[in-house]
Amino acid sequence: MNPPLGVILAGGRATRMGGGDKGLLALDDQTILGHVVERLSPQVADLALNANGDPDRFASLGLPVIADSIADYAGPLAGVLAGLDWAAGQGADAIVTAAADTPFFPCDLVPQLLLATEGMTHPLALAATPDAKRGTARHPTFGLWPVALRDDLRASLNDGLRKVVLWTDRHDGQDALFPDEAAFFNVNTPDDLAKARAML
C-alpha cells in the first residue's frame, strides 16, 4: 500500500464553544489547528483539511480545503467520505484522519494504525485508548480508511448511517491501541482550552 494521505476533520459546528472554528483558537504561539498540522504532516504523504463554509479562513495553512458532499452536517463520516474522494483523485489507497481540535495526538498515529491493519484487504482501523469502564475507548475521528470502500460509505451515509463505529464494525475495522489515555484530549469548551494551555 502507498503511504496514506492525511485529512484533518474540521467540519463540525463547535456548538459547545459557541460556534466558529475551534481549530483556529490560539494555543501557545499558534492555533490548535497549527499543532494538528505539525503532528500529522510528517506522518502522511500529503495533507488536506475537511471543512464547510468559506475556505478562505484557512488560507494561511496553505492546504487544500475539501467540503462535505453530504448535506446538513452529517458528522465525521461525511468528512471521511470527502477525504476519500479527494484521495481517490490523487491516486492514493487510503487516508488517515485526525480531528482539528485534538492537539496532542500521538506522533506515531499512522504507523500504529497501519500495524493494526496488517494483512487486511481493505485496511480500516480506529485509534483506541484504555478506559476504566469499557476496557477500551475508540476515537472515531482518528482512523485509517481505505479508498476502496468509499462508495460503500457513500451509500451508507445516503441511507442515514451516522455512527462511525457501526460502519467500521461492519467492515471488520480494527483497534489501534495507544497507552496514553490523555493523547486524544480534545478542546470542546472554554474550560478545555484552558486545560490544553496548561498541558502544553
Phi, psi for 5 (deg, rounded to 5): -90, 160
Q: For the segment 124-164, what is each residue's pLDDT rounded down to a tens digit? A: 999 999 988 888 999 999 999 999 999 999 999 999 999 99
Strand, helix or coil for residue 79: helix
- Binned at pLDDT 50, 70 and 90, residue 20 comes out as low
Q: Which long-range contacts (CB under 8 A, 24 or more apart) does 117-121 make?
A: 117/144, 117/174, 120/172, 120/174
Q: CA 106 → CA 131, 143, 145, 160, 179, distances in Å?
A: 17, 12, 18, 32, 10
Give the rounded distance of the alpha carbon of 84 from its chain centre.
12
**Identity at 51, one-letter amino acid code:** A
Axis-axis angle for helices 150-158, 76-89 (nearest 10): 150
* Candidate from 3-17, 111-125, 127-141, 159-173 with smallest mean pLDDT: 3-17
Residue 41 carries which DSSP code? Answer: G
Kindly report the pTM of this predicted structure.
0.94
Beta-carbon contacts of 186 under 8 Å, excluding residues fewer than 6 positions away, are: 99, 101, 102, 192
For residue 50, the tally of other CB atoms under 10 A from its CB is: 25
Domains of the chain: 5-199 (3.90.550.10)
Q: Identify the bridge partners of residue 175 per DSSP, sorted by sequence position.
A: 126
For the stretch 64-84, pLDDT in tens is: 999 999 877 788 999 999 999
